[in-house]
Chains A and B, each alone.
Chain A
Amino acid sequence: MSSSPAPQRFDVVIVGGGPVGMSLALALTRFMPGLSLALVDRRAFGVPQDQRASAIAAGVRRVFEALGVWGELLPGAEPVRAMRITDSGKGDISRPLFLSFEGDVVPGEPFAHLVPNRAIATALLGALEGKVDFVAPATITGWSGEGGAGLLTLEDGRQLAAPLIVAADGAQSGLRTRAGIGVLGHEYGQAGLVTTIAHSLPHEGIAYEHFRPQGPFASLPLPGNRSSLVWTETLAEAERIRALPAEALGLEIEAAMGSALGRVTPEEGLQAYPLRLQIARSFIGPRLALIGDAAHVVHPIAGQGLNLGLKDVAALAETIVEAMRLGLDHGAPDVLERYQRWRRFDTALMGLVTDGMNRLFSNDVAALRAIRDLGLGMVDRMAPVKSAMIARAAGLSGTGPRLLSGYPL
């Protein structure tokens, strides 16, 4: 026999300590008391230096409610009470309004909240304290899904074994690569730009999305006279904008978003990253499940990245807990297949919708503009279609996992 120590056994090992990985850890330990779980990350656990905020759709907010962390997030969360979508050609001064979503999904419930990323990390870390084994910082040097357990080997020689290993390790997922799972998708040839701004006029809880020829530009309301911005530019244009001094950047942003928020002051350095659509060819492997960006990266046009990840969490947590309650092997192929069936269609749909929206809006061909303007104008007059769009944007449509309805498992 080999002289290496026996692997440490867990019920589930999650690789990746971002919000998606931590949410899954919390869902599992909350609804299956006594479950042993290791959370592995290459960096030490702690609240990241991240000034950004995430849009939390209503359906996903219910996941946080069911996990018992929403109460802690609410004081710092800014409700999005309305969404205005406009379209404009290059150089247009006016911002004609084509579509506006007013009001709430159900009375008193805004369809999304903007929540600071630091607050999310703080709440999840606090809730997990004492419930999971934090294995970090750790570098993974080996993976196997053979036999009755998934096995991880770490750089220091330690081994972790579990009937199921979950890859929540991001768009460049190392586990996905080790498992030989390829990805479908393409580069958009665009860069996503992210920053936070202060502005002189109040946003009144309104989110704006301007469809410009070079790509969409979204501003999302933060507490106070501040907003979180996400927009796309060509790669070259992104480079130019990133090099601008703060004042010039403020003017550039004002020009891009129109005058709705008044004078703009950038609050932090601008971040830029190349955009791509990427969907894993399979969301599962032997003793392996992919969640979050490891499974899919969609265009940020609809603000669905974290929301899709938390839907994965809701579906996988329910699948695992149901199997364990019946005494079934929760890493068996038929159990994982159930998770995959549940998530792949929704993900592919969202990928196509956001991809399609981007292609439709990221151009300046007059004929296409006419079609999309007509399309949005018609949508605006068709109440049922609009409610369906709000429901989908809020993550409430479809027969979803229980956590998405705020029910415990």
Chain B
Amino acid sequence: MPDTTINDEEVAKFSAMAEEWWNPNGKFKPIHKFNPVRLAYIRERAIAHFGLSDTARAPFEGLKILDIGCGGGLLCEPMARLGAQVTGVDPAERNVAIARLHAAQSGLEIDYRSTTAEALAAAGEQFDIVLNMEVVEHVDNVPLYMKSCGDLVKPGGLQFVATLNRTLRAYALAIVGAEHVLRWLPKGTHEWKKFITPEELTALIQRNGMRVTEKTGVVYHPLEDSWKRSRDLGVNYMVLAEKPA
């Protein structure tokens, strides 16, 4: 077992929460629905950038990947299944405990830590790929946070950032729609003024010595009940950045 310091009662409590995190029809359904589109994007771009096999069972073998704000491990586990050596960090001790427990159930080895991007960067750790997905819009000091994320990427490595644009449409869809009308997310999940435009995000990434190579919108298709990539960066979008070798 990855952790032996937690007691049985805690394990029971976390098991129930892990089930909730991993129930595709439960509270975290929106994340489960969103997961395939971002996983496909990460897979495609990482395979192209690092010249990996597109047919291999575990194309990410040999890659060190960091997932910041890992939650219950919804991104970490797929990365580990694709062969990567994965580190997942989350400031919430509870999330880390849940993620560890679920990884053990899935028979996956993932290094989960309750820490922050700043602490990791200060320790001088670096990764081939840093996943910075749906976190920017929740942090307080965005410039400092983005600097830490940049420092965590190895020369020649990639950073994936996903977040919400600060547009009226994003306000209408992500806050009024997703939180108040559809109740996909708890009220108060997002704060509109913390949203960041692609231009602002690009400037912060480039300031830290990385080059933005692509910006992709992600749009929800209600009839198919699925998310697809789009040129429309108006609400959800992803940014891909490379650090020169």
Contacts and interface: CB of A to CB of B under 8 A. Distances in A.
Interface of A: 9, 32-35, 147-149, 324-329, 332-334, 337
B77 A9 contact: no
Contacts of B141: none
Contacts of B43: 325-327
Which 6 pairs across A and B sit closest by C-beta, in order of nearness? A327-B78, A34-B57, A334-B24, A327-B81, A326-B39, A148-B105
Interface of chain A, helix or strand or loop or mixed? loop
Contacts of A329: 77, 81, 106
B39 A328 contact: yes
A327 B77 contact: yes
Grouping DSSP codes into helix (H, G, I), strand (E, B) and loop, the B interface class, with mixed when no group exceeds half, is helix
B117 interface: no
A334 B39 contact: no
B135 interface: no
Given A9-B107, A148-B107, A325-B43, A334 B25 contact: yes
Contacts of B57: 32-35, 324
Question: Contact size class for B?
Answer: 20 to 34
Given A33-B55, A147-B105, A148-B106, A326 B40 contact: yes
Given A33-B56, A326-B35, A326-B36, 19 more contacts: A33-B55, A34-B56, A34-B58, A35-B57, A148-B105, A148-B106, A148-B107, A326-B40, A326-B78, A327-B78, A327-B82, A328-B35, A328-B81, A329-B81, A329-B106, A332-B22, A332-B24, A334-B24, A334-B25
A149 B102 CA distance: 12
A33 B55 CA distance: 7
Contacts of A334: 24-25, 32
Contacts, number: 48
B201 interface: no
Contact of A328 (B55, B56, B58, B78): B78
9 contacts: A34-B56, A34-B57, A34-B58, A147-B105, A149-B107, A326-B35, A327-B80, A328-B35, A334-B25
Residue with the greatest number of chain A CB neighbours at <10 A, chosen from B40, B55, B80: B55
Given A32-B57, A33-B55, A33-B56, A327 B40 contact: no
A206 B180 CA distance: 64
B79 interface: yes
Contacts of B105: 147-148
Given A326-B78, A327-B81, A333 B24 contact: yes
Given A34-B56, A34-B57, A334-B24, A327 B106 contact: no
User: Which of A34, A148, A326, A333 is the most central at the interface, judged by chain B CB atoms within 10 Å of its CB?
Assistant: A326
A327 B55 contact: no
Contact of B39 (A9, A33, A148, A327): A327
Contacts of A324: 57, 81
A334 B25 CA distance: 8
Nearest to A161: B107
B33 to A, nearest CB: 8
A166 to B, nearest CB: 19
A342 to B, nearest CB: 13
A34 B57 CA distance: 6
B8 to A, nearest CB: 16
B19 to A, nearest CB: 10
Nearest to B84: A327
A332 B36 CA distance: 13
Contacts of A337: 24
A329 B22 CA distance: 11
A148 B22 CA distance: 11
B80 to A, nearest CB: 7
Contacts of B36: 326, 328
Contacts of A149: 107
Contacts of A9: 107
Contacts of B32: 334
A333 B35 contact: no
A277 B133 CA distance: 50
Contacts of B107: 9, 148-149
A147 B104 CA distance: 11
A337 B29 CA distance: 14
Interface string B28-57: 000010011001100100000000000111
A326 B60 CA distance: 11
A139 to B, nearest CB: 27
A163 to B, nearest CB: 8
Nearest to A149: B107
Nearest to B53: A33
B228 to A, nearest CB: 14
